Structure 1
Amino acid sequence: MNEHVASRPPATPGTGHGRIDTETVRNIVESRKTRRTLWRQLALIGPAFVAGAWQFGPGNLTTAMNAGALYGYALIWVIIVSTILMIFLTDMSVRLGIRTPVSLISSIKERLGGWVGVVAGVGVFLITLCFSVGNAVGSGVGLSMLIPGTSPVMWTVICTVAVASILLLKGIYGIVEKVLIVIVALMAVSFIVSAFVSNPDWAAAGAGLIPVVPDGAWLLIIGLVGTNFSINAAFYTSYGTKARRRTETDYRDITMVDTIPGIIAPGIMTALVIVVAAAVLNSTGTDAPGAFGGLAKIFEPIAGPVGAWIFALGFFGSAFSSMIPNCIAGGTMLSDALGKGASADTRTARLGSAFILAFGLTVTIVFAGSSPVELIIIAQALTVLFAPILAALILIMANDRKLMGQLRNRWWQNAFGVLGLVTVVALSVRLIVSLVGG
């Protein structure tokens, strides 16, 4: 099939079989120019990298470090599988963002019924509530580790107020975001260096690619999937794609420069987190970190006492930067679901975002005496309860022939999509059984 068929508009009057109208020719030429120009390709980077950055937050770091500390290299396979499935769901969402006339939820309402669209929007909103707990706890804990003797709850309050202010004063966000990206990048580089300096057992790490489930690891596995196979982040990618006005002629380049690298990057980083935690914490006998103080030792091989400071700074950066897209996405989805507009600027979206921030803060205060590590892991695990609905809707809409046209799912894309759906359904059932069983 011609690679440019997807960009062909409806035939104009007088255009017979075997003839191509001038607009199609122009689109083909523009498409080729775009793929030959590196800077134009790089300009397509955006939605998937945002989704990937959203994944690599405090919940991701906490669950991955605990996986390495408690079970060594045994759970690396969870990250690999989650990353592959995330690529396919994100790709479907990108194509939906290109093809939907207004928004994904609006198209769901039109084709599957208004109540289905409401369920989808509310589902994303509920998942963002779960993520808000990890972000709130992580931001407070990170700053309290930077400034010993201070209260994590106090810092959570300050961070929540700061995020609310940034959302109101949008001009500030661009500057703050760049600073936080540098902080998180510092932590990412530290993990890469630590992965070699800590001298891990690479043969054992390779064996970790073989799926095994250690005793007592189910909750942690569910938490890992909840953070790395982030269905709500994939779902929201369609909105970022739509906001950037991507077209069908952009699709192939988007896949190569945004979708695949944007999702693989946090997957690799998460796998390295497990490797370093296994080498530094598990192999030294520190195999039951109940507090962040134990996890902070992860950078000692390369930075000594400064390692704890690097950990705290990066952990705060990942938490604080995740708070912003998390509450924006939740508020936007809720607004769209309720028919108030698919924009973060609507009153409903702003109220929804405010509620998400308040929810994370409230849970942090109420459970201030609990282990922050356990609280984050449980909150991340709960996200899989709502993920099956969103995964099913992405899969169904990506197969809608009338909506998707030539960008409709192929059989192999459906195969991975169904595998992802079955995965989150199975984990949801497992989590419910675990919760009911005590």
Structure 2
Amino acid sequence: MSESSAVSHSPNPRSTRRSPAPQAEETSTATGPRRNKFLRMVGLMGPAFIVGAWQFGPGNLVSAVQAGSRFYYSLIWVIALSTVLMLMFADMSIRVGVMSRGSVVETIKETLGRVTGVVAGLGVFTITLMFSVGNAVGSGLGLSLVLGGSPVWWTLGCSALVAVIVFARQAYKVIEKIVLAIVATMAVSFIATAIITRPDWGDAAAGLLPTVPSGVGLLLVALVGTNFSLNAAFYAGYASRERGLRREQYRETTIADTIPGIVAPGIMTALVIAAAAAVLGGTGGEEGATIAQFSGVLEPLAGEVGRVIFALGFTGAALSAMIANATAGGTLLSDGLGWGNRLSSRSVKLGVLGVLAFGATVTVLAQGTSPVQLIIIAQALTVIVAPMLGVLLVILANNRRLMGDLRNRWWQNAVAGVGFVAILATCYQLVVTTF
């Protein structure tokens, strides 16, 4: 009997084998939009991860290892607070970038005057020079832990590699893909490190309660300067414009990119502090433990794999931060001077080379100096320019004519106020510690 005959003679056609067909079609139709939405969300990832990669560099890791080795879990609250503040200011910068006709610096020039815009661009460029030292030292140190050899030569090689990446065709898209891959590698490395070292998670949770241990000094400044990085937040607006994000994409971008891109470095930093507390707690002394000591301690716990896992994460942090930092420095310098702000422009690329050359040169000249202390000092000095950048972002984000319905709400301004208090307190701590 044919299928058509069966259908024609059936007293209830709905009971035949044909009936599931519409349901299957409905399921397929339903899964299509879900798959498309997922792919669209993944496609929005990028700008905030570049900002997070800039923030999560070797200076961040060195500071975290020292925090854990000297003060156990008691400074994890600094990372939690800094991450919340970083998220708030990065979101402000992205909103400004989405709603502005020009770049962030161009908008500052139109709103607050040309001099203010030039000072902002030069200020961020100065910070990138400070970061470039830590990134250069860290890239060489990380690769020497994995492959051996002189850290200085590895630094020069990494600087050349980043220069090649920046000069590639469609450089921004290449940078985004590389940074996303490195961040994923780092996440695996530091989660594995935390599992290997078996921290006391109860004590780690207690570290979320604010306390300021005696003798924390410059380390507290470095932790805030690297985890609440206003210069990186400032660049978020440029990254969003380089990507071409539109107003209607803002909400989805916040969920797919801004929140995970900023929160992920905070979680990884907290994991490093917890791991260092478990392995080196109380052994760091006044100077704290070094990265080499930390990776060496992991070796007895997990063999050669333990050392390599952490070293790869550290190297990834240095490389991704070097790429993002140099890109931001060249962009902000060129834009501040009115020479353009697209990564494809010659003036921006020359600025990028300047940042890379500065970091490599200081690394070569500072041979014999403790790389850890060099990184800590360089990171701490970045907080000097930060208050100005924060003020400018808040002013722009509250401009009703510029921002429309995306202007700051009262609670966002309240959180920004907490951020200013934190930055000013760290500046005071820097002055007291230095002088």
TM-score bracket for the superposition, by shorter chain length: 0.7 to 0.9
Structure 1 position 361, deviation (Å): 1.1
User: Does the residue aligned with 2:372 lie in a helix, a strand or coil?
Assistant: helix
Instruction: Report matched runs for 1:415-430 at 5 Å.
Output: 415-430=414-429
**Matching residue of 2:317:** 318
**Matching residue of 2:11:** none
* Inter-partner Cα distance in structure 2 for 1:86 and 1:175: 25
Q: 1:144 touches 1:151 (CA, 8 Å); kept in 2?
A: yes
* Inter-partner Cα distance in structure 1 for 2:93 and 2:35: 22
Task: Give, as a single letter, the amino acid of the residue that structure 2 aligns with 1:214.
Answer: P
TM-score, scaled to structure 1 = 0.86
**Matching residue of 2:136:** 136
Name the CA shift for 1:386/1:246 in 2 (closer, same or farther; >3 Å): same
**Matching residue of 1:236:** 235
* Inter-partner Cα distance in structure 2 for 1:210 and 1:99: 38
Structure 1 position 405, deviation (Å): 0.8
Q: 1:277 touches 1:298 (CA, 8 Å); kept in 2?
A: no
**Matching residue of 1:85:** 85
RMSD: 2.3
Question: Does residue 269 in structure 1 map to residue 268 in structure 2?
Answer: yes
Structure 1 position 175, deviation (Å): 7.0
**Matching residue of 1:403:** 402
User: Does the residue aligned with 2:44 lie in a helix, a strand or coil?
Assistant: coil
* Inter-partner Cα distance in structure 1 for 2:209 and 2:179: 35
Question: Does residue 293 in structure 1 map to residue 317 in structure 2?
Answer: no
Q: 2:66 touches 2:290 (CA, 8 Å); kept in 1?
A: no
* Inter-partner Cα distance in structure 1 for 2:381 and 2:217: 13
Structure 1 position 239, deviation (Å): 1.1
Structure 1 position 197, deviation (Å): 3.7
Structure 1 position 244, deviation (Å): 2.5
Task: Give, as a single letter, the amino acid of the residue that structure 2 aligns with 1:294.
Answer: Q
**Matching residue of 1:369:** 368
**Matching residue of 1:70:** 70
* Inter-partner Cα distance in structure 1 for 2:245 and 2:181: 28
User: Does the residue aligned with 1:102 lie in a helix, a strand or coil?
Assistant: coil
Deviation per CA, 1:132-178, whole angstroms, max 9, x where unpaired? 01110011111222233x22112212222222233223478977875
**Matching residue of 2:111:** 111
Deviation per CA, 1:228-274, whole angstroms, max 9, x where unpaired? 11111111111121222322222221222211121111111111110
Question: Does residue 259 in structure 1 map to residue 258 in structure 2?
Answer: yes
Name the CA shift for 1:281/1:367 in 2 (closer, same or farther; >3 Å): same
Q: 2:53 touches 2:324 (CA, 8 Å); kept in 1?
A: no
Q: 2:280 touches 2:289 (CA, 8 Å); kept in 1?
A: no
Structure 1 position 41, deviation (Å): 2.7
* Inter-partner Cα distance in structure 1 for 2:408 and 2:171: 40
Task: Give, as a single letter, the amino acid of the residue that structure 1 aligns with 2:216.
Answer: A
Structure 1 position 323, deviation (Å): 1.3
Q: 1:133 touches 1:364 (CA, 8 Å); kept in 2?
A: yes
Name the CA shift for 1:131/1:238 in 2 (closer, same or farther; >3 Å): same
Name the CA shift for 1:183/1:297 in 2 (closer, same or farther; >3 Å): farther
Unaligned runs of 5+ in 1: 1-32
* Inter-partner Cα distance in structure 2 for 1:123 and 1:223: 18
**Matching residue of 2:58:** 58
**Matching residue of 2:5:** none
Name the CA shift for 1:348/1:236 in 2 (closer, same or farther; >3 Å): same
Task: Give, as a single letter, the amino acid of the residue that structure 2 aligns with 1:107.
Answer: T
Deviation per CA, 1:201-239, whole angstroms, max 9, x where unpaired? 222212211111112212111111111111111111111
Q: 1:34 touches 1:40 (CA, 8 Å); kept in 2?
A: no
Deviation per CA, 1:300-354, whole angstroms, max 9, x where unpaired? 3653233222222322222122212211111111111111112123333222211
Name segments (4+ residues, structure 1) moved above 4 Å. Answer: 33-36, 171-184, 286-290
**Matching residue of 1:245:** 244
Name the CA shift for 1:346/1:421 in 2 (closer, same or farther; >3 Å): same
* Inter-partner Cα distance in structure 2 for 1:224 and 1:278: 16
**Matching residue of 2:15:** none
* Greater CA drift, 172-181 or 404-413: 172-181
* Inter-partner Cα distance in structure 2 for 1:162 and 1:266: 24
Q: 2:46 touches 2:176 (CA, 8 Å); kept in 1?
A: no
TM-score, scaled to structure 2 = 0.86
* Inter-partner Cα distance in structure 2 for 1:248 and 1:350: 28
Structure 1 position 290, deviation (Å): 4.8
Structure 1 position 409, deviation (Å): 0.4
* Greater CA drift, 389-398 or 178-187: 178-187
Question: Does residue 46 in structure 1 map to residue 46 in structure 2?
Answer: yes
Question: Does residue 342 in structure 1 map to residue 349 in structure 2?
Answer: no
Deviation per CA, 1:79-106, whole angstroms, max 9, x where unpaired? 0000000111011111101111011110
* Inter-partner Cα distance in structure 2 for 1:185 and 1:38: 18
* Greater CA drift, 290-299 or 103-112: 290-299
* Inter-partner Cα distance in structure 2 for 1:369 and 1:286: 21
Task: Give, as a single letter, the amino acid of the residue that structure 2 aligns with 1:142.
Answer: G
Q: 2:49 touches 2:179 (CA, 8 Å); kept in 1?
A: no
Name the CA shift for 1:292/1:269 in 2 (closer, same or farther; >3 Å): closer
* Inter-partner Cα distance in structure 1 for 2:269 and 2:353: 30
Q: How many residues align?
A: 402
**Matching residue of 2:303:** 304
Instruction: Report matched runs for 1:175-214 at 5 Å.
Output: 182=181, 185-214=184-213
Unaligned runs of 5+ in 2: 1-32
Name the CA shift for 1:297/1:125 in 2 (closer, same or farther; >3 Å): same
**Matching residue of 1:121:** 121
Task: Give, as a single letter, the amino acid of the residue that structure 1 aligns with 2:39.
Answer: W
Deviation per CA, 1:354-373, whole angstroms, max 9, x where unpaired? 11111111111121111111
* Inter-partner Cα distance in structure 2 for 1:45 and 1:177: 9
* Greater CA drift, 350-359 or 108-117: 350-359
* Greater CA drift, 35-44 or 101-110: 35-44
Percentage of pairs with the same residue: 53
Task: Give, as a single letter, the amino acid of the residue that structure 2 aligns with 1:109.
Answer: K
**Matching residue of 2:95:** 95
Structure 1 position 424, deviation (Å): 1.1
* Greater CA drift, 312-321 or 222-231: 312-321
